[in-house]
Amino acid sequence: MPSEPFVVLADPARRRILDLLRERPRLVGELTEAIGLSQPGTSKHLRVLREAGLVTVRPEAQRRWYELRPQPLAEIDAWLAPYRWMWAERFDALERHLDTMGDA
Amino acid sequence: MPSEPFVVLADPARRRILDLLRERPRLVGELTEAIGLSQPGTSKHLRVLREAGLVTVRPEAQRRWYELRPQPLAEIDAWLAPYRWMWAERFDALERHLDTMGDA
DNA sequence: TCCTTACATGCCGTTGACGGTATATAGCTG
DNA sequence: CAGCTATATACCGTCAACGGCATGTAAGGA
């Protein structure tokens, strides 16, 4: 039962991890250094990401290659979709214009 | 200093409020009933949304009309942007294909 | 086998989110 | 003014997230 992607993304360290994995798979050690947390701390964030289906692991001897699995982000995108047109340029002006037409 | 939109959206009640405001401005009472929390609970979520710049208030006598202000969502969208192509149809297959090519 | 590397897990403390009830505040109405 | 309506704030309890350190576990190397 993967947790909500929204909740998972609320933590900046986890967003950073995903951003790093966007480039290429990474080892826990690399990620630890990059995000500036302890190794256990990093591992715990990776667990959350794994349980949310946002990363997968590929073991190689004692190492673990973490790779991005972006599918769950589609849920975020879907929620966002109906809002997306709204912040396009000069929306406020358009809205005021439509309000004016409504008055007429 | 508005809080992170990601954090604000982590709570389902707040996402629900935004969804409701997408249709039209609403009074606190309407929102309270819709999300099934206590009135103070609703007010507190509205405060968070206000401080994040996601809603604005228009007082009218004792009533408060809350309206959507979608601009901060652009930050979410911007973060999401580089991922968006990735979950397009059959990405997994493409990825496997590229991996195979790498092996060859 | 012993040590080291790479990572996961257990445990703990602190902190803040979230929800509720009680109460304050502001504006209307009679 | 009294009292009602609509909303905000104060205060409190609970719980879980997040971070750290210590330790467990698995694999490789000497």
**pLDDT bracket for residue A88 (50, 70, 90):** confident
Return residues with beta carbons within 7 A of strand C.
A 27-29, 39-40, 42-44, 46-47, 57, 62-64; B 10-11, 13, 37-38, 40-41, 44-45, 48, 61-62
Separation of alpha carbons B6 and B12, rounded Å: 12
What mean pLDDT, rounded, does chain B reach? 88
Q: Tokens standing for A23?
A: 């480039």
Restricting to A residues 34-63, those with a Cβ less than 8 Å away from any Cβ of B are none
Lowest pLDDT segment from A63-77, A89-103, B44-58: A89-103
The CATH classification number of B5-103 equals 1.10.10.10
Do the chains contact at A87 and B80, CB–CB below 8 Å?
A: no
**B83, B47 contact by CB (below 8 A):** no
A49: helix, strand or coil? helix
Q: In degrees rounded to 5, what are phi and psi of residue B56?
A: -125, 160
**pLDDT bracket for residue B88 (50, 70, 90):** confident
B70 near A CB under 8 A: yes
Separation of alpha carbons B48 and A10, rounded Å: 15
- Chain B residues whose CB is inside 8 A of the A10 CB are 4, 6-7, 9-10
With distances taken from each CA to the C1' atom of nucleotide D5, the closest residue turns out to be: B62
A4-63 confidence digits (pLDDT tens): 999 999 999 999 999 999 999 999 999 999 999 999 999 999 999 999 999 999 999 999
**A52, A9 contact by CB (below 8 A):** no
Report the percentage of chain A scoring pLDDT > 90: 79
Residues 65-104 of A with CB under 7 A from strand D: none
Rounded to 5°, the CA angle B75-B80-B82 comes to: 120
Of A4, A7, A73, the CB nearest to B87: A73
Q: Would you state the pLDDT for residue A89?
A: 62
B59: helix, strand or coil? strand
Separation of alpha carbons A15 and B102, rounded Å: 28
Q: Tokens standing for A61?
A: 């001897």
